[in-house]
Amino acid sequence: MFSSQSSRFSTVDVIPVHSPDDAWTFRMLSHAPIHTVARAMQMVTGGEDEWLALSESWTPLADLRRVGWGWEDAGLHVAEPAEGRYRIVVSGSEPAHVGDSAVRLLRCGQPSRRPDVAWWDEPTPVDPALLQHDFDIEFGFVPRLADPWHSGAAPLDSSLAGLFARLLPPDRVAMESHLQERGLLRPEPLRPAELSALTAAFATALDAVGEGLAQGPDGRLPAGFTEELAHTLAWDRAPAAGLTDAAWRLRLLRRLQGQVLRTRRGRFADKRSRLDISTAVVEFSQRDRWYASPIPPAATLALVAVADGVGTHLAEVTSLLSAPIAALDRDCDAATEVLDRLALLSAPGAFGVITPEIRRLANHVVLRSQRTYLY
């Protein structure tokens, strides 16, 4: 289920390239960032420096598992761990229960050790249970909010959880109860036909690029492309220009030897590409052109309301929610911005019209693990 990634465990094997029998095996939450692995390895090996490169990475393990190391087209670029001296393999999936260790050591790669301060000669066997004690202190346990199978709550690192955190307890319970009654806390996965409908405008733009177009004077698409695209989509010029700008930001287009070409991601090869593009359109920050950013509570409120059936046109949603947004945040700009981005997924001939597919996507986005890596 798409919204459940914060309450499942994955197995993480850290394998020395030159001595694969000395691997460490951990069980970690699937949505945990890569720096969790780096910190765990610093604790078990004492090697601080070789894991520094990964110690700042917030890319979720689930995304690393999906695309592997250094997959730039899909938006990830993570250096190989410890300059290629280790391989990290993420596998498996099992439910996480309240009170489970967030990180558990399953196999110790160094069964014995002689510390630098030792006055004895022989290495001493390492007791994994004692190491686990340190892991529990460092990483903690699975909290209630990260267990939607039992509590019905939003995933811990989702924007909906961020919205819940801003509410008084009775207001949070009332909203959670309403969303649960409406079936919005556990939506069915988006179907291929829905993803095709959501990305139809992008597909039209990229089909128009075809196997390549000569660059325009500004190094981007040739003059007249935006006007022709607007005519094809039956949109105004401004949203058509926003669509092409988003295509560049999402790395669906690239330049090569005077040509504008589609990237592999821009060819919509599979369901995952369409899903990534649909969610990335909504998550992109307006303040930093190249990064996704956490969705603010006011924007999350607008998305939840759209998912719940509010409005028929995205342009009217902010005014319909003026009182709830004012009670949450004096500034409605964040809500307006996220709805403007969502509008780029409108159907041809119906810019800004809220379709069932748009409502379903809004539902998934608010339950999605918040990602901050480069697209």
**Tens-place pLDDT, residues 15-47:** 888 888 888 899 999 888 888 888 888 888 777
Q: Which pLDDT value is given to residue 302?
A: 93
CA 40 to chain centre: 23
pLDDT of residue 66: 66
Neighbours of 137 (CB within 10 A): 8
Residue-wise pLDDT for 212-227, tens only, equals: 888 888 878 888 899 9
Which pLDDT value is given to residue 2?
29
CA distances 235 to 242, 343, 362, Å, are 11, 11, 22
Ranges under pLDDT 50 in the chain: 1-6, 70-77, 145-152, 286-291, 372-375
Instruction: Judge residue 169's burial from the number of C-beta atoms within 10 Å of its C-beta, 0-12 exposed, 13-18 middle, 19 or more buried.
Output: exposed
CB atoms within 10 A of CB 43: 18
Q: CA angle, 326 as apex, 324 and 330 as ends, to 5°?
A: 150
CB neighbours of residue 104 within 10 Å: 16
3-state secondary structure of 265: helix
pLDDT of residue 272: 66
19-41: buried (b, 16+ CB within 10 Å) or exposed (e) per residue?
Answer: eeeebbbbbbbbbbbbebbbbbb
